[in-house]
Structure 1
Amino acid sequence: MKLTFRWYGKNDPVSLSAIRQIPNMSGVVSAVYDTPPGEVWPRESIAALKQAAEQNGLAFEVVESVPVHEEIKLGGADAPRLIENYCENLRRLGEFGIRVVCYNFMPVFDWLRSDLSKELEDGSNTLSYEYQDVLAMNPASGSLSLPGWDESYTMDEMRRLIERWRTLDSETLWSNLSEFLHAVIPVAEEAGIKMAIHPDDPPWGIFGLPRIITGADSIRRMVSITDSPSNGITLCTGSYGANLANDVAAIAEEFADRIPFVHLRNVRHTGDHSFFEAPHPSRCGSLDLYDVVKTLVKHGFNGYVRPDHGRMIWGEQGKPGYGLFDRALGAAYINGLFEAAEKEEKY
Structure 2
Amino acid sequence: MFLLCQTMRWYGPNDPVPLSSIRQAGATGVVSALHHIENGAIWEISEIEKRKKTIESAGLTWEVVESLPVHENIKTHSGNYTELIENYKQSLINLSACGIKTVCYNFMPLLDWVRTNLVYELPSSAKALRFEPLAIAAFDIFILKRPNAIDDYDANLVAEAKYYLKKIRQKDNGEEEKKLIETILLGLPGSEEKFTLDELRNRIKRYKNIDDFGLAKNLNTFLNHIIPTAEKYGIDMAIHPDDPPFSIFGLPRIVSTYEDFKRIISNISSKHNGITYCTGSLGVRTDNDLIKMIQDFGEHIHFIHLRNITRDLKGNFYESEHLDGTVPMIEIIIQLVKLQQKRKKSLPMRPDHGHQILDDLKKETYPGYTAIGRLKGLAELRGVELAIKEILLKTSQK
> What interval of TM-score do these two structures reach, taking the shorter chain for normalisation?
over 0.9
Q: Which of 334, 343, 346 is the equivalent residue of 1:302?
A: 346
Q: What's the counterpart of residue 158 of structure 1?
A: 200
Residue 137 of structure 1: how far off its partner (Å): 1.1
Aligned AA for 1:346? Answer: L
Q: What's the counterpart of residue 202 of structure 1?
A: 244
Residue 345 of structure 1: how far off its partner (Å): 2.4
Report the Cα distance in structure 2 between the residues aligned to 1:202 and 1:84, rounded to whole angstroms. 30
Aligned AA for 1:336? Answer: G
Report the Cα distance in structure 2 between the residues aligned to 1:133 and 1:332, rounded to whole angstroms. 34
Q: What's the counterpart of residue 148 of structure 1?
A: 187
Please, what is the CA RMSD of the aligned residues?
1.7
More helix by share: 2
Select the structure with the greater relative contact order (CA < 8 A; seq sep ≥ 6): 2
Q: Is the 8 A contact 1:102 1:196 kept in 2?
A: yes
Q: What's the counterpart of residue 254 of structure 1?
A: 296
Report the Cα distance in structure 2 between the residues aligned to 1:5 and 1:52, rounded to whole angstroms. 15
Report the Cα distance in structure 2 between the residues aligned to 1:242 and 1:249, rounded to whole angstroms. 14
Report the Cα distance in structure 2 between the residues aligned to 1:61 and 1:97, rounded to whole angstroms. 9
Q: Is the 8 A contact 2:6 2:29 kept in 1?
A: yes
Q: Is the 8 A contact 2:120 2:129 kept in 1?
A: yes
Q: What's the counterpart of residue 11 of structure 1?
A: 14
Report the Cα distance in structure 2 between the residues aligned to 1:341 and 1:218, rounded to whole angstroms. 30
Report the Cα distance in structure 1 between the residues aligned to 2:9 and 2:198, rounded to whole angstroms. 32
Residue 270 of structure 1 pairs with residue 309 of structure 2 = no
Matches within 5 A, 1:116-135: 116-135=118-137
Q: What's the counterpart of residue 186 of structure 1?
A: 228
Q: Is the 8 A contact 1:270 1:276 kept in 2?
A: no
Q: Deviations over 1:172-197 (max 9, x none)?
A: 00110000000011111122110000
TM-score (norm 2): 0.83
The DSSP-based 3-state class of the residue aligned with 2:182 is coil
The DSSP-based 3-state class of the residue aligned with 1:36 is coil
Q: Which of 332, 335, 345 is the equivalent residue of 1:292?
A: 332
Residue 271 of structure 1: how far off its partner (Å): 2.6
The DSSP-based 3-state class of the residue aligned with 2:336 is helix
Deviates most, 53-62 or 266-275: 266-275
Deviates most, 234-243 or 131-140: 131-140
Q: Is the 8 A contact 1:253 1:296 kept in 2?
A: no
Q: Deviations over 1:11-34 (max 9, x none)?
A: 1111111111123x2200000011
Q: Is the 8 A contact 2:63 2:348 kept in 1?
A: no
Report the Cα distance in structure 1 between the residues aligned to 2:81 and 2:197, rounded to whole angstroms. 23
Report the Cα distance in structure 2 between the residues aligned to 1:286 and 1:11, rounded to whole angstroms. 34
Q: What's the counterpart of residue 78 of structure 2?
A: 76
Q: Is the 8 A contact 2:187 2:195 kept in 1?
A: no
Matches within 5 A, 1:331-346: 331-346=378-393
Q: What's the counterpart of residue 254 of structure 2?
A: 212
Q: Which of 60, 63, 70 is the equivalent residue of 1:61?
A: 63
Residue 343 of structure 1: how far off its partner (Å): 2.0
Q: Deviations over 1:290-328 (max 9, x none)?
A: 111111111225210000011111141221100100100
Q: Is the 8 A contact 1:116 1:126 kept in 2?
A: yes
Aligned AA for 1:298? Answer: K
Aligned AA for 1:322? Answer: Y
Q: Deviations over 1:52-86 (max 9, x none)?
A: 11111101121000000001000113110000000
Residue 50 of structure 1 pairs with residue 52 of structure 2 = yes
Q: Deviations over 1:253-301 (max 9, x none)?
A: 11111111000011011234220000111xx211111111111111225
Residue 90 of structure 1 pairs with residue 130 of structure 2 = no
Between Structure 1 and Structure 2, how many residues are aligned?
Answer: 344
Rg larger in structure: 2
Residue 152 of structure 1: how far off its partner (Å): 4.2
Deviates most, 231-240 or 293-302: 293-302
Instruction: State, as a whole percentage, how many aligned pairs show the same letter.
Output: 41
Residue 153 of structure 1: how far off its partner (Å): 4.8
Deviates most, 150-159 or 266-275: 150-159
Structure 2 spans left out of the alignment, 5+ residues: 146-176
